[in-house]
Structure 1
Amino acid sequence: MVVLAGNPYLEGNFAPVDLELTVDNLQVIGEIPPDLNGMLIRNGPNPLFPSQAWYHWFDGHGMLHGVEISNGKAKYCNRYIQTEGWKSEKAAGRAMSSGFLAPPQQGNPSPPVNTANTAVVWHGDRLLALWEGGEPYQIEVSELKTVSPYTYGGDLKSAFTAHPKVDFATGEMMFFGYSWVDLPYLQYSVVSHEGKLLRTVPIDLPVGVMMHDFAITAHYTIFMNLPLTFRLERAQQGKPPLLFEKDIPSRFGILPRHRDNSSIRWFEAPACYIAHTLNAYEDGDEVVLIACRMPSTTMLGLAGRAQEIHSDLAFLHKWRFNLKTGAVIEEPLDDIPSEFPRVNEQYLGRNTRYGYTSRLTPNSVPLFDGLIKYDFATNSSQIHELGQGRYGGEGVFVPRTPHISQGGEDDGWLLTFVYDEVAKISELLILNAKEIVVEPVARIILPQRVPYGFHGTWIEQTNLKSVAI
């Protein structure tokens, strides 16, 4: 693989790796907790034939990096997700689709195809690799082999968000799919605990928008119709079809989980963009949402344009939507920029005391130099510093037990991949979630560089062999 210079997402630890490996008995610094057994799997982009001029971090083919932990020992493997687009490029020996930033000019490769490069979800005894513009891909654990596209027996008729929500209490999974061009612009679906697609309903939007995430409570689903809009008429005028419209308010739609568009209520707030939500819950007459808010976005801050980076810095915020009066209260929770929010997902959709984000550095590309633990009961936070020249990603919370623990909501570990830019090594950090400011419980040294990526999940050891076909 030849990596071209001049594009920040093709340099350093953003650059792709060539090898697909399986390596046992990894070096461990410290001691892996004896009751931590399972597999961390993280998705991210790893291009085959990137364009120096137009490659964007969002473009690369999905590659899964997994660390399986059992009885204090660790095993690593990484695999490309063999989508139809990956197979086409591998066979042709060249790029077959255009990038996220490529202008629509004659002679360019075809539009982007499903790369399955964004996230993974475990539900219905299946591991699915996700990309919000198409269908999921089923992955065989624990060797991370691609099985096939997964369409719920042909019942899936929309795209599938990269951020579905699984309700730990009911086992249901909620997801949505959006379209920029074809009506309906938004469709919403519910999947049963057993993995059956129960229903899909259209949600009315006036224009196509980039809707990357959403949220759930115990009884509601929250959609975010934010003013990052897609308009073909702009493209016809030679302007970007995808553009943040700062004069349009943000709209938040709150829908009873099992109802349709006729039951949705929309609330307005100042224009903003939200890539990721931390959690939502019900509090009396109010629905509360916590998410990482950007004042606006050009999407260029994620493309190495330093002058635009401020627009793409996100800060943790809280919204209160009063279902009785229609009032909206929006307030900042921190003045430190951070992203990739997570909670103990056993409490997803319920009032959580704790939340976790990754601290952003003010660079022209997104680098994370610490993990933040928020205590919403005391309005305080703690930061685990990764150290000089060390950058990580999303912190995945792993509960101590597969059932809600008597040890409390933060009884477990935070796991994240870290790259040391001085030592040139990647490792998996295991932090005690109750005391994140102290030294890691363990550092698992990985056999090759793990490029910066997106979102991951933890699969308990008992589920690694429990796979539905």
Structure 2
Amino acid sequence: MPDGTVFHRAGNFAPIHAEHDIAELKVSGALPRDLCGTLFRNGPNPQFDEAGVHWFFGDGMVHAFTLSDGRAAYRNRWVRTHKWRAEHAAGRPLLPCYPRPSLPGLAIRDTGVANTNVVWHAGRLLALEEGHLPFALDPATLETLGVETFGGVLRGRFTAHPKVDPATGEMLFFGYGIGGPRSARMAWGTIQPDGRVGKLERFGAPYCALVHDFAVTERHVLFPVMPLTGSRWRAITRGQPFAWEPELGGHVGLLRRAEGVASLRWFRAESCYVFHVLNAWDEGARVVADVMQYDAPPLFPHADGTLPDPARTRARLVRWTLDPEAGTESFATEVLDDAPGEFPRLDERRAGRRNRFGAYAVRRTGAPLFDAIVWRDMESGRARSFALPPGDALSEAVFVPRHASAPEGDGWLLTVAWRAAEGRSDLLVLDTDDITQGPVAAVHLPHRVPFGFHGNWVAGAA
């Protein structure tokens, strides 16, 4: 198990220290002419070398690959959070133990590091992390425009994984630690297609937990509250507030979208952890969710400081089936793929509806990093994969439909590959007709894109 405060300072986890504007990149193969838009990616990229800071808390950097007419351009920028601006002006770290409370009196607004995801909604490009509100960015220049409060309505925490309902156009979100960073209070709500806040409700969870993702169907919202728990004492003394306490057991909250928290009920789960949800949907009265499930979360210790068994810190694709009418607090689970995987994605036009196809990154036997992409037919169970040469690694694969009315799953997967021997990165374009044939095009960067977290495709030229 790597230490989350050490491993990210080496190899392609290490930050880069330059911002680039490259008008045209070299391309191998042929970029599809219909592939017109920008892939935005986000991840931790500390401005300064900060020993002891967990990878999850590095300053956010957004990378933008713009594709049009068979050509590719690139731009990257740090998100100018209040922490980043203050430290940039000082030329040194001012919060060297972030997020541990430190150096009081600096009057630096705590607006976070905006380092986890980047999404498009209501004409706004938003850089997200789950401890704070998003930052709005200019989609063409990546200039930081400021904290997005959605008309001054929202305060506090906002998930890095909001879900957009393809039928209504509304974006659903949640936050944990509402009312205080170690509070068991949570909130959920909606942002309308025009950017106004619709619903906003608060509720209590069984305990304070790091809830990274959630699931949304046409009729329900599902919250996986698992025992990766928060502690103010740990935050102050260790600089890492979260630890694994499996003896507390897991909980899954389920509410009906139309009725809100008045309909909230909790199901019990075995101790496990979920960082990411592939998709969820309604099946009659039941709710089905496909998730990447760990026996224990990676990169976090037990409450006593010991690390979990590495064999238990690998996720696999698991299906949950919850039946609100069954009169039981438990729910059924089924392993769909035992391969160690992460970063699940789907054709977002099927979000909240039963989907036929899904993609996720996997590690082949013996590989230390994700080095292959699986494209899975969820109905037949058939899976095709594309793998990189040994030593190379890749990112989450983002699906782009071939055109607006293309059938589900007909299009391309975009993933950023780390070329270890060359010390740089490529953007790869895989055709979902058969990803085993390898990329139809590779966009070559002269530098590397450090390993990060999530991104999304925005159609149309920036």
Q: Under a length normalisation based on structure 2, what TM-score does the superposition of the two structures give?
A: 0.91
* Partners of 2:156 and 2:452 in 1: CA distance: 25
Aligned to 2:26: 27
Answer whether contact 1:97 1:111 (CA < 8 A) is retained: no
Answer whether contact 1:202 1:260 (CA < 8 A) is retained: no
Please list the CA deviations of residues 17-46 of structure 1 after superposition, one character each: whole Å capped at 9, or x if unmatched: 121111122111000011110000100111
What's the CA shift for 1:250?
1.6
* Partners of 2:402 and 2:175 in 1: CA distance: 33
Shift in alpha-carbon separation, 1:324–1:156, aligned structure 2, 3 A: same
* Partners of 1:104 and 1:308 in 2: CA distance: 30
- Larger mean CA deviation between 273-282 and 258-267 belongs to 258-267
Answer whether contact 2:83 2:109 (CA < 8 A) is retained: no
Aligned to 1:396: 398
Aligned to 1:418: 417
User: 1:34-433 maps to which residues of 2 (within 5 A)?
Assistant: 34-52=33-51, 54-99=52-97, 114-179=112-177, 181=181, 185-232=185-232, 241-297=241-297, 299-300=299-300, 308-327=309-328, 328-360=331-363, 367-401=369-403, 403-405=404-406, 408-433=407-432
> Structure 1 counterpart of 2:249, which letter?
P
* Partners of 1:298 and 1:440 in 2: CA distance: 30
Please list the CA deviations of residues 81-128 of structure 1 after superposition, one character each: whole Å capped at 9, or x if unmatched: 11111001101122222446x877999x99986000000110001100
What's the CA shift for 1:214?
0.2
Please list the CA deviations of residues 250-270 of structure 1 after superposition, one character each: whole Å capped at 9, or x if unmatched: 211111124332211221121
What's the CA shift for 1:455?
0.3
* Partners of 2:411 and 2:298 in 1: CA distance: 37
Please list the CA deviations of residues 389-448 of structure 1 after superposition, one character each: whole Å capped at 9, or x if unmatched: 2111100001112x342xx21111000111110122211000002211112110000132
Answer whether contact 1:28 1:443 (CA < 8 A) is retained: yes
> Structure 2 counterpart of 1:296, which letter?
A
> Structure 2 counterpart of 1:219, which letter?
R
* Partners of 1:34 and 1:329 in 2: CA distance: 45
Aligned residues: 449
> Structure 2 counterpart of 1:436, which letter?
I
Aligned to 2:459: 460
* Partners of 1:184 and 1:247 in 2: CA distance: 17
What's the CA shift for 1:332?
1.1
* Partners of 2:19 and 2:432 in 1: CA distance: 31
Answer whether contact 2:165 2:171 (CA < 8 A) is retained: yes
Please list the CA deviations of residues 231-268 of structure 1 after superposition, one character each: whole Å capped at 9, or x if unmatched: 44777999975222212232111111243322112211
Q: Under a length normalisation based on structure 1, what TM-score does the superposition of the two structures give?
A: 0.89
> Structure 2 counterpart of 1:190, which letter?
T
> Structure 2 counterpart of 1:31, which letter?
A
Structure 2: state its 5+ residue gaps.
none
Answer whether contact 1:309 1:362 (CA < 8 A) is retained: no
Answer whether contact 2:184 2:207 (CA < 8 A) is retained: no
* Partners of 1:306 and 1:433 in 2: CA distance: 39
What's the CA shift for 1:196?
0.8
> Structure 1 counterpart of 2:119, which letter?
V
Answer whether contact 2:182 2:230 (CA < 8 A) is retained: no
Structure 1: state its 5+ residue gaps.
1-5, 465-469
What's the CA shift for 1:387?
1.6
Answer whether contact 1:98 1:111 (CA < 8 A) is retained: no
- Larger mean CA deviation between 326-335 and 425-434 belongs to 326-335
- Larger mean CA deviation between 222-231 and 335-344 belongs to 222-231
Answer whether contact 1:243 1:298 (CA < 8 A) is retained: no
What's the CA shift for 1:325?
0.8
SS at match of 2:8: helix
Shift in alpha-carbon separation, 1:421–1:88, aligned structure 2, 3 A: same
* Partners of 1:30 and 1:440 in 2: CA distance: 8
Shift in alpha-carbon separation, 1:239–1:388, aligned structure 2, 3 A: closer
Cα RMSD between the aligned structures? Answer: 2.7
Please list the CA deviations of residues 188-207 of structure 1 after superposition, one character each: whole Å capped at 9, or x if unmatched: 11111111111210022132
Please list the CA deviations of residues 256-306 of structure 1 after superposition, one character each: whole Å capped at 9, or x if unmatched: 1243322112211211110010000011121001010011226338xxx99
Answer whether contact 1:357 1:372 (CA < 8 A) is retained: yes
* Partners of 1:284 and 1:28 in 2: CA distance: 48
Shift in alpha-carbon separation, 1:274–1:410, aligned structure 2, 3 A: same
SS at match of 2:12: helix
SS at match of 1:291: strand
What's the CA shift for 1:56?
2.1
SS at match of 2:325: coil
* Partners of 1:240 and 1:433 in 2: CA distance: 40
SS at match of 1:13: helix
Answer whether contact 1:97 1:113 (CA < 8 A) is retained: no
Identity of aligned residues (%): 38
Shift in alpha-carbon separation, 1:322–1:144, aligned structure 2, 3 A: same
